[in-house]
Amino acid sequence: MTADRIERETLIAAPLERVWSLVAEPGFWVADKASLPGSVAREGESMVARNPEYGDFPVRVEKVQPPTYLAYRWASAFPGQELREDNSTLVEFTLTSEGDKTRLRVVESGFASLAGSEELRSKAVRDNTGGWPQELDALKARAEQPSV
């Protein structure tokens, strides 16, 4: 049976507001950084995160509670398809201040409900389990850069 969720967290040497500004860019974890809209997430809005290597992924903003919680839905295992409940997972970001640092926690869930074969669901979990550490490291590096 497919695992249904992935949980990761990282401690970032940057203030909560700085980390929030990066996490609030819809699709930041998959989109080519040059294609990010530069807008702040608004509940109910949808966009397409474009990635030259992996394809185009629909992303919808599900919930926004500035500056500590954001939830997105995306179709990671179904690039190019329209977003539906049976082809998407929920990605939740929770930010917590720890002194002058920020703890960022990500939980991606809903893999067991994806349409398709057990192999497809297992591959989605494997791919995203491997991807989150890279994306969190990249976000951490961006957040910790000195302000220009």
* DSSP one-letter string for 47-79: EEEEETTTEEEEEEEEEEETTTEEEEEE-TTST
What integer pLDDT is reported at residue 132 of this predicted model?
A: 96
Report the mean per-residue pLDDT for the chain.
Answer: 92
**Mean of pLDDT values over 90-117:** 97
pTM value is 0.93
What is the rounded distance in angstroms from the CA atom of residue 106 to the CA atom of residue 83? Answer: 20
Share of the chain above pLDDT 90, in %: 77
Q: What is the pLDDT of residue 31?
A: 85
Higher pLDDT, 19 or 2: 19
pLDDT on residue 12: 98
Per-residue pLDDT at 104:
98
Higher-scoring residue by pLDDT: 32, 58: 58
pLDDT band at 148 (very low <50, low <70, confident <90, very high): low
Domains of the chain, each with CATH number or no CATH: 5-144 (3.30.530.20)
Give pLDDT, residue 80: 86
